Amino acid sequence: MERRSGFEEEAEIAAVFGEDLALLPTSADAAPDEKSCAADVSGATLAPVKRKRRSRVMEYFTGLDVSVDETAICVVGDDGKVAFETAVETDPAAIAEALRPYADRMRRVGHEAGSLSPWLHTELLAEGVPAVCLETRHVRAALSAQRNKTDANDALGIAHIMRTGWFRQAHIKTDGCYRIRLLLVQRRNLKRKFLDLENAIRHSLKVFGIRLGKVGRGAMEKSVREAVAGAGLMDCMLRARAALWAEYLTLHKLVVQLAMRDELCRRFMAIPGVGPVTALSFSSAIDDPQRFRRSRNVAAYFGLTAKRWQSGTSIDVQGRISKAGDPDVRRALYEAASAMLKSPRRIVPDYLL
């Protein structure tokens, strides 16, 4: 067999490639158009392929600026253009009716967290509205760039927040948690009014040179009556004080009963310094533990972690705690920690184990 050189093999390969390239259409040949017919191997013509353009579906985002009597509504498309603006009564049915023309393509409906949020959010979801409750700190930071603050502008800003997705969703607790929260708040309010009235009685007696000194809560009424015998004004104040104290004790007993019925609260009260108020405050504020990815996030949720201010390489300040979140829970945890540090370790009763 005759051996060929490398140059001869390359020349033969180039000739073969040249024959293949000759079969391709040249620039002089017209390229087939989409509208023209193409021929297959058998010579039959094929119908032209028509490409249909898919129509783009517009999605809408809504912002609600909720007040006590009226709610401003602003609907924007995903292109950022305003599609609809109005103001209706602060009622879930009225809001859902105003958004009904855009219901099929409504992506999100945002409203800021407030006193009406638990009721409004639940009712909007029942009406089929994709409602989202927003944290106030994020909304306030985003809307602070506006030059003019009006209800319509706030609704527009919330709509753009929903469109961009730059928000943090606030957790809507269950109805039972809000009832416990209401009980704790009313108990605290009665106690504050009781202490205000008691201090007013003490200070009013100082005008006449009467100083009660360190008198217990049970013996105060007797001491005042002995100091100002026959004073009708003080009788009214003392009767009001006694009525407030009786109603406060009623709510306090209810708090203790609720805490003792809950197994989680009983386990929590086994910790030294933790009582029924702290246990109920903490459990009602957490509501669903699954919404926290890590246990360390709970401290940040209640504002018990340090703030940090860092910029570049020259500024890095570690500040005090942020104090963000529920102040009542933070106060209760602080009092429990102080009691644990200052008082001796107590013996846990058997019924708490």
What is the 3-state secondary structure of 277-343?
Answer: HHHHHHHHHHCCHHHCCCCCHHHHHCCCCEEEEEECCCEEEEEEECCCCCHHHHHHHHHHHHHHHHC
Average pLDDT of each block of 10 consecutive residues along the chain (353 residues)? 48 46 46 48 55 75 96 95 96 96 95 95 96 94 91 96 93 94 96 93 83 80 79 83 95 96 93 92 94 92 90 85 92 91 61 44
Structure tokens at 83: 């599609």
Cα separation of 140 and 155, whole Å?
12
CA geometry: angle at 338 spanning 262 and 344, to 5°? Answer: 85
Q: What is the DSSP letter of 171?
A: P
pLDDT at 46: 53
* Angle of helix 175-206 versus helix 327-342 axis, rounded to 10: 70
Burial class (CB in 10 A: 0-12, 13-18, 19+), 124: buried
pLDDT score for 15: 47
Q: 238: exposed, middle or buried (C-beta count within 10 Å: 0-12, 13-18, 19+)?
A: buried
Q: Check residue 313 and give its pLDDT.
A: 81
Separation between Cα atoms, residue 152 and residue 71, nearest integer Å:
9
